[in-house]
Amino acid sequence: MPSVDVVVPVYNEERALPRSIPVLRDFLASDAFPYDWRIVIADNASTDAVPEVSAQLVERYPGEVTYLRIEEKGRGRALKRAWGDSDSDIVSYMDVDLSSGIEAFPALVAAIAEEGYDVAAGSRLLPASEVERSVGRRVLTRGYSLIIKSLFRTRFSDAQCGFKAVRASVFRRLLPMIEDNGWFFDTELLIVAEKAGLRVKDVAVAWLEDRDTRVNVPKTVAGDLLGLARLRLRRPWRALAAQLEGEGSRS
């Protein structure tokens, strides 16, 4: 079976880790998840007791839970490092609060392992998705999705859901083209992948909003809009699209 790295990026989450990692580990070890797996706690320059808590979890689950320290903040930076260093067939990540129901994780991985997709992304905007979140957040998510579709003519529905998986060999090709090291990383990954001609699948999730979020919404919105403008101007996917087209013509 394909091997899967499940990365959990964290910043000052000493309270959430002891609750979520055992739940995630038990689910992955159950019959519900048929793939080889490893959990990677990607510590994004935490200043609380995350290193100590992580060490306890690594000792509790030897060989199943590992710890990676990144000395600079930024979720994108953490995923670039954790995914880029991975020797697994598929790399993935989910938020430490498990806001996206882990019951959808086998379908996320199966999209790549069994259905031939290159990227799979959790979506809170599909008809089958079950979402509990504030009206304001719903409006922001739908509005952001409409902006992306109008600018790039993409088909994926939800760029910012913290629940994604990528074929590792594909990510290594995408990595040089992804500039963002923060929250915009997810959006940039999906836009570049789809515009380059890679196969992207939406997977419906059950979503329960975390009220104790670390996201600075106004700052994130501003960064997202600047990121979209940069992508619209530079179009970094063109080089990869040309490579893939050339490989297809030779096969």
- We report the CATH number of the domain holding residue 8 as 3.90.550.10
CA distance 38 to 5: 5
CA distance 37 to 40: 10
Residue 251 lies in a domain: no
pLDDT by position in tens, the chain (length 251):
899 999 999 999 999 999 999 999 999 999 999 999 999 999 999 999 999 999 999 999 999 999 999 999 999 999 999 999 999 999 999 999 999 999 999 999 999 999 999 999 999 999 999 998 788 888 999 999 999 999 999 999 999 999 999 999 999 999 999 999 999 999 999 999 999 999 999 999 999 877 655 667 888 899 999 999 999 999 999 999 999 888 876 65
Number of domains in the chain: 1
Domain limits for position 238:
3-242
Query: In sequence order, what E strands does 124-224 have?
Result: 130-132, 163-167, 200-204, 206-208
Residue 249 lies in a domain: no
Residue 57 lies in a domain: yes
CB 47 within 8 A of CB 214: no
Residue 248 lies in a domain: no
Of 108, 157, 138, nearest to 207 by C-alpha is 138
pTM higher than the cut 0.85: yes
Residue 104 lies in a domain: yes
Listed in sequence order, the residues at least 6 apart from 222 whose beta carbon sits closer than 8 Å to its beta carbon are none
DSSP H or E segment with residue 28 = helix 17-28
**Chain centre to alpha carbon of residue 113:** 16
Strand partners, 3: 36
CB 102 within 8 A of CB 23: yes
CB 104 within 8 A of CB 17: no
CB 7 within 8 A of CB 91: yes
